[in-house]
Amino acid sequence: MIVIVDERELVTEGYSSLFDREGVASAGFAPSEFGEWVSSAADTDLRSVRAFLIGDCREG
């Protein structure tokens, strides 16, 4: 799985769509959601992550 982090929803959805067309699992998060996901995700979910795609994260 590839995890996409970007404050622009259009970007996370766009990358997720492209990866999906190639048969690659992905998950997109806003920066504010990412920390919560990491701390609450199951170990199996975290082990399935193969890459992080970090985009614009200037939230705040």
Whether 49 is in a domain gets the answer: yes
Separation of alpha carbons 40 and 11, rounded Å: 24
pLDDT tens column, 12-21: 999 999 999 9
When divided into structural domains, the chain yields a total of: 1
Whether 60 is in a domain gets the answer: no
What is the value of pTM for the model shown?
0.88
Whether 59 is in a domain gets the answer: no
pLDDT tens column, 27-43: 999 999 999 999 999 99
In terms of residue numbers, what domain contains 15?
2-54
Task: Classify burial at 54, counting beta carbons within 10 Å of its beta carbon; exposed 0-12, middle 13-18, buried 19 or more.
Answer: exposed
